[in-house]
Structure 1
Amino acid sequence: MKNKLPEYRKKYNLSQDKLAEMLGVTRQTIISIEKGKYNPSLPLALKIARIFHATVEDIFLLDEDG
């Protein structure tokens, strides 16, 4: 799954550390999500979307090629 998390994070001026703290996860989790190495659970994806006043679909894109 592809995502626009880095763009949203920068738009809201949030560091990986700060976002991780807000979500109750580690910075490593944020890094893994941003690199596409880890797909967040639905509850975590919803929390991320809520922080950025966006929909899950705005941030996370299904990789149609995979």
Structure 2
Amino acid sequence: MGDDKTFTSPEARASGSDDPDIRHLAERYGITLEQARDLRDRCGDDQPLLEREVQELKGGRHA
């Protein structure tokens, strides 16, 4: 049934696209969901570390 709004495809669950924290991180920093998941796995909730890693990921360094 195409009207079931509660159904999430296996692909969406596997990709983590239904995780609002990961989606927010990706949108906030302009990175892919995969990059956001990797950063979250490596940095956890450490915001300063996340921001430094994003800058490094994007090729810029803030000193």
Task: Report if TM-score (shorter chain) is over 0.5.
Answer: no
Q: TM-score scaled by structure 1?
A: 0.34
Greater helix proportion: 2
Q: Answer with 1 or 2: which has the greater Rg.
A: 2
Compare the two structures and name the one with the higher strand fraction: 1
